Amino acid sequence: MAVVAPGLERPIDVENVMAEIEKGQQLAGHFPDADALVRARRVLVGEISEEDAMREVRQAFRPA
């Protein structure tokens, strides 16, 4: 699936970018869970904003 991202001249291949995100995180010693990867995909395709994604993260890790 290809999407046009704001500020880029050509469409991006979502699957390739997601693979780059996951591998980059792994190489940095981070191992994102499924929720984090879904959230990244939603930001990438424009379903949610970065601010909305950060709000979800803060809510998920808010002390009970």
Looking up tokens 């803060």 gives: 58
Place 12 in a pLDDT band, splitting at 50, 70 and 90: confident
Specify the residue for token string 């880029």: 8
- Kindly state the average pLDDT of the residues 42-57: 94
What pLDDT score was predicted for residue 6?
A: 66
Average pLDDT for 35-61 = 94
- Cα 59 to chain centroid distance, Å, stands at 17
Residue pair 57/39 in contact (Cβ under 8 Å)? The answer is yes
Rounded CA-CA distance 48/35 in Å is 14
**Rounded-to-10 torsion of CA 56, 39, 48, 28:** 100
Q: Taking the model in full, what pTM does it have?
A: 0.80
Write down the pLDDT at residue 35: 95
